[in-house]
Amino acid sequence: MINRILDFIRPNKFSDTGQEVQELMKTIDKQRLPRHIAIIMDGNGRWAQKQGLPRAFGHRAGVESLRDIIKLCCELKIQILTVYAFSTENWKRPREEINVLMDLLVEYLKKEIQELCKNGVRINPIGRLGELPRPALDALSAAVKLSSDNNGLILNLALNYGGRTEIIDAIRAIATDVETGRLKAGQINNDTVAAHLYTAGQPDPDLLIRPSGDFRISNFLLWQLAYTEFWLTSTLWPDFRRIHLLRAMVDFQRRERRFGGLKDE
Ligand code: IPE
Ligand code: IPE
Ligand code: MG
């Protein structure tokens, strides 16, 4: 609370932030941007609870963060953004919270689809979508249809998504190919598995961001994150804005990715 009050009375807070954003924009090497960014949008509940508000307020506030991040990704011409919105384990939460999340998804898609299309965003939901409630499925199908011809940012919306479930689904499909004689077991390699994941045809994430101070994957993109660079922050998702993503990108560009090999001389 005290931080929030300070934020309001600090006279040049917004220009400071604006200046840092501008500086970071200049610092970033536009030729070496991550092609694929993945984000675990976590910390909504804690954000609300910190202010004595019900968790639902945190989920609603988190939508603002997503909006800002998508906009920046479009401005920088990032190819793919994958956001973790609802996991296969999130069904363990109270029914009311699940309803809030599903309602918010429908509201978001209906309200934002025009703006998303204007920015060239293509909506690509990933997960066991058939298990989502009917209204969510309908809103998703409509958004996918409306945005299918766009050729800007691909927005992978991970919904009822689990990394293990994704791998199980891939194994089942591959096993069927083997059973029906289309494939020999000995031919299965990295490419075979990747081609049967929900992200088939997409490059693996270069950068994974997890806000809110937890240091775990929580069943996200287990296969795809093999050589992804992680960027963790204690900032809660509803407070996460483009400035944080820019900081993450600058940090990403300073890293040396070796993929198990040796440093380039
Ligand atoms: C992320 O925020 C949103 C979803 C998991 C759907 P949380 O609801 O997990 O917020 P915290 O982690 O409890 O703060
Ligand atoms: C991961 O966050 C899932 C989403 C952000 C959608 P969780 O809050 O569900 O993960 P845990 O329970 O802290 O590991
Ligand atoms: Mg959480």
Reading the block at residue 76, the tokens are 């920088």
Q: Is residue 144 located within the same domain as residue 190? A: no
Instruction: State the average pLDDT for the chain.
Output: 95
Q: Is residue 128 located within the same domain as residue 237? A: yes
Give the contacts of 226 (CB within 8 A, at least 6 positions apart). Answer: 204
pLDDT (tens digit per residue) in 59-96: 999 999 999 999 999 999 999 999 999 999 999 999 99
Count of domains observed in the chain = 2
Cα–Cα distance between 105 and 19 in angstroms, integer? 33
* CB-ligand 1 contact for 46 (6 Å cutoff): yes
The ligand 2 atom at the shortest distance from the C-alpha of residue 45 is 8
Residue with tokens 């609300």: 48
Residue 216 lies in a domain: no
Catalytic site includes residue 90: yes
Q: Is residue 126 located within the same domain as residue 182? A: no
pTM recorded for the entire structure: 0.94
Cα–Cα distance between 182 and 175 in angstroms, integer? 10
User: What beta strand segments (E) does 182-235 contain?
Assistant: 207-210, 229-232
Residues with CB under 5 A from ligand 3 (ion): 42
List the alpha helices (DSSP H) in the chain: 2-9, 13-27, 44-50, 55-75, 95-118, 134-147, 163-179, 190-195, 242-254
Q: Is residue 174 located within the same domain as residue 150? A: no
Looking at the CA of 46, name the nearest ligand: 1
Q: What was the pLDDT predicted at 11?
A: 46
Residue 38 CA, ligand 2 centroid: distance in Å = 14
Reading the block at residue 161, the tokens are 């998504």
Ligand 2 test: best mutation among 128, 216, 218, 232, most atoms within 8 Å of CB?
A: 218
Q: Is residue 77 located within the same domain as residue 39? A: yes
Catalytic site includes residue 206: no
Find the domain containing 50 and state its range: 1-6+34-161+231-254
Q: Is residue 150 located within the same domain as residue 168? A: no
pLDDT (tens digit per residue) in 146-168: 999 999 999 999 999 999 999 99
Q: Is residue 87 located within the same domain as residue 190? A: no
* CB-ligand 1 contact for 86 (6 Å cutoff): yes
Residue 212 lies in a domain: no
Q: What was the pLDDT predicted at 264?
A: 76
CB 156 within 8 A of CB 199: yes
Residue 210 lies in a domain: no
Residue 11 lies in a domain: no
Q: For residue 15, name the pLDDT band (cuts at 50, 70, 90).
A: low
pLDDT at 41 over 90: yes
pLDDT (tens digit per residue) in 183-239: 999 999 999 999 999 999 999 999 999 999 999 999 999 999 999 999 999 999 999
pLDDT (tens digit per residue) in 226-250: 999 999 999 999 999 999 999 999 9
Reading the block at residue 68, the tokens are 């800002």
Q: Is residue 156 located within the same domain as residue 181? A: no
Residue 58 lies in a domain: yes
Domain with 59 in it: what CATH number?
Answer: 3.40.1180.10
Percentage above 70 pLDDT, the chain = 94
Residue with tokens 């209204």: 135
* CB-ligand 2 contact for 85 (6 Å cutoff): yes
Q: Is residue 90 located within the same domain as residue 113? A: yes
Reading the block at residue 98, the tokens are 């699940």
Q: Is residue 49 located within the same domain as residue 90? A: yes
Query: Which of the residues 68, 90, 214, 219 is marked catalytic?
Result: 90
